[in-house]
């Protein structure tokens, strides 16, 4: 999918997005549990950039726990960003955010951040060189030694057990009330529009993009979370 197609896809999904994924929130909550320890020693006035923030779940989590932190919110889908902004406004957190509707390359800011988050975004970039360049762009938004925390779909799709893992993953989604129609669309997307890479390949492309010690810290189903430090 090109950038216009991705934006259109999420514009179309936005209204129903949080409801659709509500019952899968245990996965994110488990990941946030680890992240809280990972970021606990950062300065009280840390600056965070959230790339592909979607409806803003990670921002709500971090903003609540770290009341002095401020956020650069990068999201190309206007519809997703509106929901994100409204949800943060309801919780009185929007004044701590700068909202950018667009991709990272249109964010003309020289601000450097302590942390970049990028959850479930980079797997939409199928071309390895472009995906590496995307992480390099994220590195540019960070202070030296700044922390990247992210997650992506990950598995060795050529391994014998991939089909079993995939079957369980879709069965979990179905039990979480994701409609059969949407599951069918996802199966299609996984085969054609999303790059599901083994853990070591994701970590290695992050390191080639200008990060040190990319480290996996959490896995649930096909979601793999990792962190790395900017060189």
Residues lying near ligand SAM in the complex (CB under 6 A): 6, 10, 51-54, 57-58, 74-77, 80, 103-104, 119-121, 124, 134
Q: How far is the CB of 115 from ligand SAM (least distance, A)?
A: 14
Question: Minimal distance in Å, beta carbon 160 to ligand SAM?
Answer: 28
Least separation, in Å, of the C-beta of 163 and ligand SAM? Answer: 23
Residue closer to ligand SAM (CB basis): 104 or 202: 104
Q: Which is nearer to ligand SAM, 103 or 162 (CB)?
A: 103
- Spatial neighbors of 133 by CB under 8 A, at least 6 apart, are 209
The answer to whether the beta carbons of residues 87 and 19 sit under 8 Å apart is no
Q: Provide the minimum distance between the beta carbon of 193 and ligand SAM in the complex, in angstroms, as a whole number.
A: 11
Q: How far is the CB of 189 from ligand SAM (least distance, A)?
A: 11
Q: Give the nearest residue (CB) to ligand SAM.
A: 54
Name the residue nearer to ligand SAM (CB basis): 31 or 163. 31
Comparison of 10 and 169: residue with beta carbon closer to ligand SAM: 10
Cβ nearer to ligand SAM, comparing 60 with 145: 60
Minimum distance between the CB of residue 53 and ligand SAM, rounded to whole angstroms?
6
Residue 216 contacts by C-beta under 8 Å, 6 or more apart in sequence?
199, 203, 224, 225, 226
Q: Which is nearer to ligand SAM, 15 or 159 (CB)?
A: 15
Report the chain's terminal Cα–Cα distance, integer Å.
31
107 or 157: CB nearest ligand SAM: 107
In whole angstroms, the minimum distance from the beta carbon of 103 to ligand SAM comes to 5
**Beta strands 142-153 and 211-220, pairing class:** unpaired
């Amino acid at each position: 999918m090109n950038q216009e197609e991705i934006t259109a896809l999420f514009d179309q999904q936005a209204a129903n997005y949080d409801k659709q994924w509500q019952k899968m929130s245990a996965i994110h909550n488990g990941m946030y549990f680890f992240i809280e320890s990972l970021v606990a020693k950062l300065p009280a006035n840390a600056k965070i950039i959230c790339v592909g923030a979607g409806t803003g779940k990670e921002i709500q989590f971090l903003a609540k726990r770290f009341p002095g932190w401020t956020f650069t919110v990068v999201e190309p889908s206007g519809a997703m960003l509106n929901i994100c902004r409204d949800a943060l406004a309801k919780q009185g957190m929007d004044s701590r955010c700068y909202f950018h509707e667009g991709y990272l390359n249109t964010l003309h800011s020289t601000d450097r951040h302590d942390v970049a988050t990028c959850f479930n975004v980079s797997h939409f970039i199928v071309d390895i060189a472009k995906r590496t360049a995307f992480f390099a762009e994220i590195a540019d938004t960070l202070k030296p030694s700044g922390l990247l925390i992210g997650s992506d779909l990950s598995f060795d799709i050529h391994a014998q057990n991939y089909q079993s893992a995939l079957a369980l993953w879709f069965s979990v989604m179905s039990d979480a009330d994701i409609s059969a129609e949407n599951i069918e669309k996802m199966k299609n997307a996984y085969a054609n529009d999303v790059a599901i890479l083994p853990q070591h390949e994701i970590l290695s492309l992050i390191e080639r993009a200008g990060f040190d010690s990319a480290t996996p810290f959490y896995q649930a189903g096909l979601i793999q979370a990792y962190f790395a430090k900017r060189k």
